[in-house]
Amino acid sequence: MTILTLVRHGETDWNAGGRVQGSTDIPLNDTGRAQAREVAATLAADLAGRDVVVVSSDLSRAAETADTIADALGTVVARRLPGLREGSYGEAEGMDAAGFAASYGPWHAAEVPGAEAWPVVRERALTALAEVVAETPEGVDIIAVAHGALIREVIMHATDGEFPRVGERLPNCSATVFRLDGEDWEMLAYAGVAT
């Protein structure tokens, strides 16, 4: 059995401006760095005395958030995984919410030229997480810092589509916790709230 905590990265200027980031490498802003310190302190308190491995996406906003968390836990980030990178939104990257809606319609149903398909994002994420779980000793908790849409796909897998609901977004630096037992996933906390 493994406890896996998925943390969304802290805020960036593009998050604050409602712009689509996808795989564009946008750094944290000062608010995002403060959010990272806050979630790091919470995780350090919650996981005190436990063995933990921290991994992240290789995009800088997730990597910096993970570094902050690892530092608070007295460790370093074990791996930067391209498999945990946010899905690509193709030609929509950089657009604001209004421009996206005008060009492509509702977020959950949009078909954007050049974008990575959601099933591909989900499979890539699950493969990367399975690799981390397989190489992590029994009894060691895993914290993986990634991105909102990718985490959403993992949550949908783990809950058979019950969460997140259509239009629901994961807050920056929210933490969602799972218990993994082989192929079985159980969500213990959704975006920081116990389930």
Residues carrying an active site annotation: 9, 86
Q: How many CB atoms lie within 10 A of CB 71?
A: 16
Cα–Cα distance for residue pair 91/182, rounded to 1 Å: 38
Q: How many CB atoms lie within 10 A of CB 24?
A: 16
Cα–Cα distance for residue pair 29/16, rounded to 1 Å: 9
Bridge-partner residues for 184, per DSSP?
181
Bridge-partner residues for 178, per DSSP?
4, 187
Cα–Cα distance for residue pair 93/2, rounded to 1 Å: 35
